[in-house]
Amino acid sequence: MKTQAIPAPVTSGPAANQAQRMQTLRLRVLEAHRVLFDSGLTTLTWGNVSQVDREAGLIAIKPSGVRYQDLTPETIVVVDLEGNKVAGELRPSSDTPTHAALYRAFAGVQGIAHNHSSYATMFCQAEAEIPCLGTTHADLFHGPVPVTRQLTPLEVESGYEVNTGLVIVERFRSLDPAAMPGVLVAGHAPFTWGKDAMAAVEAMITLEEVAKLAWGTLSLRPTTPPLAGHIVAKHYSRKHGPKAYYGQC
């Protein structure tokens, strides 16, 4: 998987600007896939990452069934916000309708990652939320990571991937996607999101770690209570929102 510098446009005008925006999206999504692959959380061709350019109405996403090692800027597929292919010779990920549904519903989300990492997927298969048991979890997820319901037979038959997205949106009717940048799809696998593709991948890596910590903690002590709410709030606010002070300005 090779990356390259973002090229300068050689022409001007709307068409050249569109081409440049597509190339920028492709390169950023390619780099996010490289980081996900290097994390060791992927198996075979499972999973995908995307990023949206809302002004241009474009989404760049992994092609379906292509190995991470074989990805190049040219293989990254560009679609519109309805999931229709705009650029690229390969078919986009089969999960493209899910990504598009989430972008349409969650205005603040700019990047989405999907994976079948072991521990997070075990919680999906158990249809169990990941409880917030410690500060590692609270640093990114403000509360337990939610799990969706399973899709109905009609939802599977009428549009499995788009309805997967709609079931996620349904689960977030009373939740803030910014404060909870991830979800467990019952019987399937997790999705995470963020301000761009790289942030979505970082959320996926974090989700897998907190799932592993929760699984181990509950194995040692099944009656472990959730972390106290005031500690959850403190650790989340240290990194997010107007009172954040973690890291450098």
Residues annotated as part of the active site = 139, 246
Q: Which helix (H) or strand (E) holds 183?
A: strand 182-184
Distance CA 122, CA 242 (A): 35
Residue 142 burial (CB count, 10 A): 21
Q: Are 205 and 213 in contact (CB under 8 A)?
A: no
Residue 110: both structure tokens together: 């700019």
Radius of gyration of the chain (CA): 18
Q: Are 34 and 55 in contact (CB under 8 A)?
A: no
Name beta bridge partners: 243: none
Name beta bridge partners: 52: 59
